[in-house]
Amino acid sequence: MNKSNKTPFRRTHFMKISFEILISTMFREDLSFLNAIFSLNAIDDFDIIIVNQTDEDKWLVSDRSNIKVINSLERGSPASRNLAIRHASKDVCLMGDDDIVYQPNLKQHIEAAYSAHPNVAMISFEAINEEGQLFTDYYPEGLHSKKSLKKIFTWVISFKRQVFKEHQIYFNHYFGVGSVFEGETEYAFLRSAYDKGLKMIHVSQTIVRHPNESSGGLMGSDNALFARSALAHRFYGNLSYLWLLKYVLFIYRHHYISFKEMPTKFQMGLNGIAKYKSLLKSGEIDKLYEG
Cα-to-chain-centroid distance, residue 120: 18
Would the pLDDT of 17 be above 90?
Answer: no
Would the pLDDT of 148 be above 90?
Answer: yes
Phi-psi region of 259 (alpha: psi -120 to 50; beta: other; left: phi over 0): alpha
Q: Tens digits of per-residue pLDDT, 223-247?
A: 889 888 988 888 888 999 999 999 9
Lowest mean pLDDT, pick from 34-38, 69-73, 245-249, 278-282: 278-282
SS3 148: helix
pLDDT of residue 199: 96
SS3 142: strand
- Whether 228 contacts 247, CB under 8 Å: yes
**In the chain, what are the domain boundaries?**
19-209, 215-282
pTM above 0.85, yes or no: no
Q: How confident is the model at residue 57 (pLDDT cuts 50, 70, 90)?
A: confident
CA count, 13 A, side-chain hemisphere, 109: 24
**Averaged pLDDT score across all residues of the chain:** 87
Residue among 106, 56, 121, 85 at smallest CA distance from 208: 106
pLDDT of residue 282: 77
pLDDT of residue 51: 96
pLDDT of residue 184: 75
Q: How confident is the model at residue 120 (pLDDT cuts 50, 70, 90)?
A: very high
- Whether 248 contacts 272, CB under 8 Å: no
CATH class of 19-209: alpha beta
